[in-house]
Chain A
Amino acid sequence: MTNASFEPVLLARINKPDSASLASYKADGGYAGLRKALDMTQAQVIDLVKASGLRGRGGAGFPTGMKWSFLPQNITGPIYMCINGDESEPGTFNNRILIEEDPHQVLEGIVIGCYATRATTAYFYLRYEYGHCYRTLQKAVDEMYAAGLLGKNILGSNYSLDIHLHRGACAYICGEETGLIESLEGKRAWPRIKPPFPAVEGAFRRPTVVNNVETMACVTHIVNRGAEWFQSMGIAKDPNNPRDAGSYGPKLYCISGHVNKPGLVELPLGVTARELIDKHAGGVWKGRKAKAVVPGGISMGFMSEAELDTPLDFAGPGRVGCLGLGTAAVIVIDDHTSMVDVLYNACRFFAHESCGQCTPCREGTAWSTKILERIRSGNGKLSDIDLLLEISSSIGTIPGTTICGLADGAAWPIKTAIAKFRPELEEYIRSGRKSAAPQLVGAH
């Protein structure tokens, strides 16, 4: 399937009038998937999702069906599902559009997912700032209860489920799955050490599945249209690499930054950054050229202009030194922008958002921000670059020095900026210029 002939799946309904209502969703065939799923066994639903090759859309790209099958078998007591709608990765807004414009598509996937995992309670953890999403979701959930789509004996089946909406705590770290669970339990969102993984011991010490909003929306369509259909989109797994799980299905790409037409587009996984910018975002603004592009949220690091033909699937960004596909939120930085300012902004974000638990992350993120502040004030030293590199190489789960991936996300912009833009950084330091961009103050 070429991208030109691609029919939107997740965004298919968003321009319809009243797209968020249950009536309009049902008119378009909504909840047929749920009925289908309820007629299948739980294992059959999991197998279907496994066969589709669906990988989590929240950032880590973990195969969803496999995650569901990690739940312990033959246990008594509740299993929980947490829907991760904390969406705080800079540049990311796909969850928001899905919830605001077509919440039932997401909720249907949630009920199916809960059925498959035998969860009897789902907690929808929603970023606090998403007030409109909250109200839309609440309305949709109320409609579902009224229509017998939630609560006891859903659609006349033996299956019962409750969904609770939970408004978040205004911190990026609440999106990390175990930070989310802690926050849900009313505690400080300090990510937990693993093991135990949430599938074994999660919310309220019970087996728990955490999935992203877009992931759940995909589930709805997989049940409706089948695994084969899902696999007809995207990039197939590399037959020479047994560890590659492929990148199947449609994906929402958020495009922001220095483009003429920022926004959300849906395309099969694997579109290149260049195609996204030129074909779908109206090109770089003001007739300029791109200098750097963030492939999937700032924590993935930077691609250079020369790397823009990299396919944005789960494997692509990694091949050019980025951390991964992340949230597929593409941020374009034009060639008039100083990488010192960009990097400073990235570092400042992570210093502000570090939960403060792990020494290397807490101190490393703050220190690198201070160094960049000093460089921006014209007082940088060439040795600062190596120091930044050393700090960024010593924080994160990849070297093994932190509990969660926030620190890796903090390290990658630094590492990739130095790897790809070192001459520019050196020139800046040598010049002793003060940054023209304003000092950033206040919260994010």
Chain B
Amino acid sequence: MSTVFVNDIEVEVGPRDNLIQAARAAGVEIPHYCWHEALSVVASCRMCLVEVGEKKPDGTIAMGPKLVPACQTPAKPGTVVKTETAKVKTGQQMTLEFLLLNHPLDCSICDQAGECYLQDYTYKFGKAQSRLNEPKVQRLDKYHIGEQIALFTDRCVMCTRCVRFTREISGTAELQVVARGSVEEIDVFPNKPCNNKLAGNVVDLCPVGALCSKDFLYKKRVWWLKSQKSVCAGCSTGCSIEVDQNEDHVYRLRPRANPLAQGHFMCDEGRFGFKYVQSTNRLSGPTSKSIATVGVAASAVTKFNGNVAGKLFQPADLAVVDHWPAAIQEAREKIKAAVDSSASSFAAVFSPMMSVEEAYLLASYLKGLNRNVKLLMGPVPVVGEDDCYPKNVNGSAPTAEKTKFTIRAEKCPNRLGVEKVLKHFQGALVPIEDAIQGAHGIQAWYFVGGYATPDDSIGWVSPSIAKATEPAKLLIVQDIFPSVLSKRADIVFAGAAFTERDGTFINHSGLAQAFRAATRPPQASRADGRILNELCLRQGLYNTEFLRKEIASKIPSLESLSVGDLGVHGVELHQLVGAHL
């Protein structure tokens, strides 16, 4: 640790920190463009210039004669940083005036407005007028930079964050600087667009409105968006993210830096792959074969959840039940009857899309009815192999030590968490495919899905599962999309997607992270925790903090959840309770 003095505020900082970080620790903002924690230091934008000196052991301070870039200067013990001197202010004004010389000042039509560092710094550190009397350099916009990325060339401040990202993190090196001096630009090689699987990150890295996401472009002014801290459900990396929504519509996902999880970034599969949650094919409410109230349901549902009127799902062959209590009660009774007649013929199939809490509620409830009930692990989607970055020049993967980002082959967020629950209640982990080999004798099923399979012609139900469940006497399905099973089910619970639920996911390395509902479930569908809470006749509302403490007290391997609040970075399971605080 070293003690440094930022505008006379004394702070302790790490030995590898720079002066931007030291100032941050002191609550002082040093504006910066080119520096980014995850990228190499180039110290070229010169936005972070400060005055630096040294406090001698005798207490005297010797200030250096020049401005120095804070990003490039290590916070050595005794460093004195001044960010508010006339010299620093003039330097900041000059850098901003330079950066704005050729800027088109088209903030009114720029996607970045509201979260743009050129706007914000100009407001805080710049001056109101440009003294340029000459024509600006004009550059053509480049819509071709990537499938998902457009470059508004003349808004670029040439910080090269995007270029360094493609060289240092993705390793794919599509982006580069072409030409020289004030007419230089960011570009790609002809016909070699920036389409790597991490490409979307350059949009977040771009401090201004130069690189924009085509998916988000002109969809929403950012000040209308509300962010919720969440976790991507796309794979077992479990990237920490922000879900940005407005009026229950998710507009974009952005990575949220988490040193315990993925680092600073996220992949495009996760970033753009969330769209299924807004599919019109979603299950819209509870349905039951025995309660046929289709007409009533439609209007009741519309009233209940009026904000999504017009997106109403019309079920083809099942009846919509407009009130959950009846459906849940029916399910509870039928489950009980089936378990009472033969507990070992009753199986519940858990999905790795479930949260730890949801798995716990269902498992503890069923085992509470009878310990011979079978708890099975549902399909764990795996696609290809883990995809590691940065790639080298030939496109091959880095060694383990050099890996900076991994998109995992396991395309679900919580296999580990659900397995821990199942192992606790069942003793051993039984995958469904094993349980249905030969004469399995299972006659009653409770299936939980939640997979990202908006196209029910493909779905997640394998032919063997479909076949094994055909003779079932009872089939209850809790899912978000119709499937072979839901179409056959006696009762269907329309559950919620990850952006609509609260819960805990445990990623590939055993990091337990909280994800939080950003939007409400569409129409009459419901968060799964709430469905299960009522099914199990538990008192009070579904509350993840409370449940985590309960789980921790019951399941030794999940003891670390006893903190209740997992914080923004989550808790590593092997960690001692409270050690992350």
The residues of B that contact A370 with a CB separation of less than 8 Å are: 132, 134-135
Q: Pick the contact of B68 from A356, A398, A400 — CB < 8 Å? A: A400
A65 to B: closest C-beta gap in Å: 27
B94 to A: closest C-beta gap in Å: 5
A183 to B94, CA, bound (A): 30
A356 to B159, CA, bound (A): 10
**Among the interface residues B41, B135, B180, which one has the most CB atoms of the partner chain A within 10 A?**
B180
B374 contacts A by Cβ under 8 Å: no
Q: Pick the contact of B184 from A362, A364, A371, A403 — CB < 8 Å? A: A362
B461 contacts A by Cβ under 8 Å: no
A374 to B67, CA, bound (A): 31
B289 contacts A by Cβ under 8 Å: no
A267 contacts B by Cβ under 8 Å: no
**Among the interface residues A362, A381, A390, A399, which one has the most CB atoms of the partner chain B within 10 A?**
A362
Chain B 96-130 near chain A by CB (<8 Å), digits 1 or 0: 00110110000000000000000000000000000
Determine, out of B42-50, B215-223, B437-445, B477-485, the stretch whose residues face the partner at the interface.
B42-50
A354 contacts B by Cβ under 8 Å: yes
The residues of B that contact A390 with a CB separation of less than 8 Å are: 94
Q: A359 with B66: in contact, given A188-B177, A374-B133 (CB under 8 Å)? A: no
Closest to B160 in A: A357
B90 contacts A by Cβ under 8 Å: yes
List A residues 380-417 near B (Cβ within 8 Å). 381, 387, 390, 394, 397-403
**Among the interface residues A359, A363, A365, A387, which one has the most CB atoms of the partner chain B within 10 A?**
A359
Decide: B180 and A356 in contact? CB cutoff 8 A: yes
Decide: B181 and A362 in contact? CB cutoff 8 A: yes
Q: A359 with B44: in contact, given A351-B181, A367-B101 (CB under 8 Å)? A: yes
A362 to B101, CA, bound (A): 11
B571 contacts A by Cβ under 8 Å: no
A289 to B: closest C-beta gap in Å: 34
A381 to B68, CA, bound (A): 33
Closest to A173 in B: B180
B56 contacts A by Cβ under 8 Å: no
A403 to B43, CA, bound (A): 8
Chain B 189-204 near chain A by CB (<8 Å), digits 1 or 0: 0000000000000000
A373 contacts B by Cβ under 8 Å: yes
The residues of B that contact A264 with a CB separation of less than 8 Å are: none
A398 to B98, CA, bound (A): 18
Decide: A357 and B131 in contact? CB cutoff 8 A: no
Decide: A363 and B42 in contact? CB cutoff 8 A: no
Q: A400 with B49: in contact, given A360-B98, A367-B132, A394-B94 (CB under 8 Å)? A: yes
Decide: B182 and A401 in contact? CB cutoff 8 A: no
Closest to A188 in B: B177
Chain A 367-381 near chain B by CB (<8 Å), digits 1 or 0: 100110110000001
List B residues 63-80 near A (Cβ within 8 Å). 66-69, 72
A356 to B132, CA, bound (A): 19
A391 to B44, CA, bound (A): 17
B417 contacts A by Cβ under 8 Å: no
A358 to B41, CA, bound (A): 13
Question: What bracket does the count of chain A residues touching chain B fall in?
Answer: 35 or more
The residues of A that contact B67 with a CB separation of less than 8 Å are: 399-401
A352 contacts B by Cβ under 8 Å: yes
B454 to A: closest C-beta gap in Å: 45
A360 to B: closest C-beta gap in Å: 6
B313 to A: closest C-beta gap in Å: 54
Decide: B184 and A193 in contact? CB cutoff 8 A: no
Q: Pick the contact of A363 from B99, B135, B179 — CB < 8 Å? A: B99
Closest to A367 in B: B101
B122 to A: closest C-beta gap in Å: 14
B133 to A: closest C-beta gap in Å: 7
Closest to A363 in B: B98
Decide: A362 and B158 in contact? CB cutoff 8 A: yes
B18 contacts A by Cβ under 8 Å: no
Decide: B98 and A364 in contact? CB cutoff 8 A: yes
B91 contacts A by Cβ under 8 Å: yes
B95 contacts A by Cβ under 8 Å: yes
Decide: A359 and B181 in contact? CB cutoff 8 A: no
A362 to B94, CA, bound (A): 13
Closest to A364 in B: B98
Decide: A351 and B182 in contact? CB cutoff 8 A: yes
Decide: B98 and A359 in contact? CB cutoff 8 A: yes
B130 to A: closest C-beta gap in Å: 10
Q: A373 with B182: in contact, given A359-B46, A359-B95, A359-B158 (CB under 8 Å)? A: no
Decide: B44 and A358 in contact? CB cutoff 8 A: yes
List A residues 18-77 near B (Cβ within 8 Å). none
B157 contacts A by Cβ under 8 Å: yes
A355 contacts B by Cβ under 8 Å: yes
B154 to A: closest C-beta gap in Å: 13
Decide: B44 and A354 in contact? CB cutoff 8 A: no
Decide: A399 and B66 in contact? CB cutoff 8 A: yes
**Among the interface residues A355, A357, A394, which one has the most CB atoms of the partner chain B within 10 A?**
A357
The residues of B that contact A351 with a CB separation of less than 8 Å are: 181-182
A171 contacts B by Cβ under 8 Å: yes
**Among the interface residues B68, B157, B177, which one has the most CB atoms of the partner chain A within 10 A?**
B177
**Among the interface residues A188, A190, A400, A403, which one has the most CB atoms of the partner chain B within 10 A?**
A400
Decide: B182 and A365 in contact? CB cutoff 8 A: yes
Q: A400 with B66: in contact, given A358-B46, A367-B98 (CB under 8 Å)? A: yes
A144 contacts B by Cβ under 8 Å: no
A87 contacts B by Cβ under 8 Å: no
List B residues 157-180 near A (Cβ within 8 Å). 157-158, 176-177, 179-180
B544 to A: closest C-beta gap in Å: 47
The residues of B that contact A356 with a CB separation of less than 8 Å are: 158, 177, 179-182, 184
Decide: B95 and A360 in contact? CB cutoff 8 A: yes
A155 contacts B by Cβ under 8 Å: no
The residues of B that contact A373 with a CB separation of less than 8 Å are: 134
Decide: A354 and B90 in contact? CB cutoff 8 A: no
B111 to A: closest C-beta gap in Å: 23
A397 to B68, CA, bound (A): 9
Decide: A403 and B44 in contact? CB cutoff 8 A: yes
Q: Pick the contact of A360 from B43, B94, B177, B183 — CB < 8 Å? A: B94
A374 to B133, CA, bound (A): 9
A352 to B158, CA, bound (A): 17
A161 contacts B by Cβ under 8 Å: no
A398 to B94, CA, bound (A): 15
The residues of B that contact A374 with a CB separation of less than 8 Å are: 133-134
A353 contacts B by Cβ under 8 Å: yes
Q: Pick the contact of B42 from A354, A357, A399, A402 — CB < 8 Å? A: A357
Q: A402 with B181: in contact, given A363-B98, A394-B91 (CB under 8 Å)? A: no
The residues of A that contact B98 with a CB separation of less than 8 Å are: 359-360, 362-364, 367
B48 to A: closest C-beta gap in Å: 11
The residues of B that contact A387 with a CB separation of less than 8 Å are: 131
B503 to A: closest C-beta gap in Å: 46
Decide: A171 and B180 in contact? CB cutoff 8 A: yes
The residues of A that contact B45 with a CB separation of less than 8 Å are: 358-359
Decide: A359 and B99 in contact? CB cutoff 8 A: yes
The residues of B that contact A399 with a CB separation of less than 8 Å are: 66-67, 91
A206 to B179, CA, bound (A): 29
Taking Cβ atoms with an 8 Å cutoff, the residues of A that contact B are 171, 188, 190, 193, 351-360, 362-367, 370-371, 373-374, 381, 387, 390, 394, 397-403
* Extra 18 A-B pairs, beta carbons < 8 Å, given A359-B157, A401-B95: A193-B72, A352-B181, A354-B182, A355-B181, A356-B182, A357-B158, A358-B46, A359-B44, A359-B46, A359-B98, A360-B46, A360-B95, A363-B98, A365-B182, A366-B182, A367-B182, A390-B94, A402-B46
List 23 contacting pairs A-B, 8 Å CB cutoff, sorted by A: A190-B44, A193-B41, A193-B43, A351-B182, A353-B181, A354-B180, A354-B182, A356-B177, A358-B46, A359-B44, A359-B99, A362-B184, A363-B98, A363-B99, A363-B182, A366-B183, A374-B133, A394-B91, A399-B66, A400-B66, A400-B67, A400-B68, A401-B91
Q: Which 9 A-B pairs have the closest CB atoms?
A: A400-B66, A366-B182, A363-B98, A400-B67, A370-B134, A356-B184, A354-B181, A357-B44, A394-B94
